[in-house]
Amino acid sequence: MTANRGQGATTETRTDSSTESVTERVAGSPGVDDAVIESRDLKVFYGDDQALQGIDMEIPEKQVTALIGPSGCGKSTYLRSINRMNDLIDVARVEGDLYFHGKNVYDDDVDPVALRRKVGMVFQKPNPFPKSIFDNVAYGLRVQGKDDGDVEGKVRQALERAALLDEVEDQLDSSGLDLSGGQQQRLCIARAIATDPEVVLMDEPASALDPVATSKIEDLVEELSRNYTVVIVTHNMQQAARISDKTAVFLTGGHLAEFDDTSKIFENPESQRVEDYITGKFG
């Protein structure tokens, strides 16, 4: 079941380079006026198994959207479908549409690598390269040929936005692997935003961190949403409640049960199944 209590959830979106426009009420949307990502009937299959069951959702620009739900509900699959990370899995197959600024990212003329420059990703386990802190952040700039200008300035800005610069300013030449787990994760966030993406996807970015490091990541997520659209998968419902503006609840079988303002989801959800899940009566 998808909830649709949105007000003015009507959106107009260009579906492709032709001028065909689509105007339709999008089920599962809380009425997003400034959606940057929009999925329509998005289905993902792993071989014969269907991991997502026709997801309709609009993700607002420069806000934090949390995806929550029990293990195997499809929330990470949805996240990875946004920047076509599922392309890397041989048996994965995608049906339906996923628009980024109105352009279907699964169109043939979309280069996944170019897409991922605009839609960066941070993973559960910090994965810095075995390089210096500076080179970790500069890596993406160099790969993209953006190292012709002020690389140092861009690296410092990314580290500052990732709330790490103050802690590593005197050790930029040290290995990224020498940092603590929380610092490594913020280094990965710096690396992800150095190339100036519009969207940052985060797949349980704090689940491997201690409470203090987790708090820093949560503060950072809130800060990042001033400049970026953040979509975060988390198993920690209180974390979703603390840091997100919108929450999508996926339930077993890859269904989007409810998508709404986070305060609405955690104070008075429409769906009884969502109520049961977030109050811990099942799952």
Partner 1 sequence: MARKSYQEQLEELREDVCYMGEVVMERLRMGLDAIEQKDEDLAQEVIEGDGEVNRMYLDLEKDCIDLLALQQPVASDLRFIASTFKIITDLERVGDLAVNLGEYTKDAERDLFPDVDVQTMGDLTLEMIDDAMVAYDTENVEQCRDLAVRDDDLDHYAERASGIVVRDLIERELGSPDEAELLLQDVSRLLLTIRDLERVGDHAVNIAARTLYMVENDDELIY
Rounded least distance, CB 274 to partner 1, Å: 8
8 A C-beta contact, residue 192 and residue 126: no
Rounded least distance, CB 49 to partner 1, Å: 26
Phi-psi region of 282 (alpha: psi -120 to 50; beta: other; left: phi over 0): beta
Which string of x and - marks every residue 170-209 that binds partner 1 (by CB under 8 A)?
A: ----------------------------------------
275 binds partner 1 (CB under 8 A): yes
DSSP one-letter code for 175: B
211 binds partner 1 (CB under 8 A): no
Counting residues that bind partner 1 (by CB under 8 A) gives 14
Could you give the CA distance from residue 164 to residue 166 in angstroms, rounded to a whole number?
6
Selected binder of partner 1 within 237, 249, 251, 256 (CB under 8 A): 237
241 binds partner 1 (CB under 8 A): yes
Range in contact with partner 1 (rule: CB under 8 A) among 20-28, 97-105, 221-229, 263-271: 263-271
CB atoms within 10 A of CB 85: 20
Query: Tokens 């549409």 map to which residue?
Result: 97
CA 261-10-265 angle, to 5 degrees, is: 15
C-beta of 190 vs 241, nearer to partner 1:
241
C-beta of 7 vs 238, nearer to partner 1:
238
Beta-strand runs (E) in 47-193: 49-60, 64-68, 92-100, 103-104, 119-122
259 binds partner 1 (CB under 8 A): no
219 binds partner 1 (CB under 8 A): no
72 binds partner 1 (CB under 8 A): no
For the record, the structure tokens of 237 come out as 């419902």
Q: Spell 194-210 as b/e; 16+ CB within 10 A means b.
A: bbbbbbbbbbbbbebbe
5 binds partner 1 (CB under 8 A): no
70 binds partner 1 (CB under 8 A): no
Residues at the interface with partner 1 (CB under 8 A)? 237-238, 241, 266-269, 275, 278-283
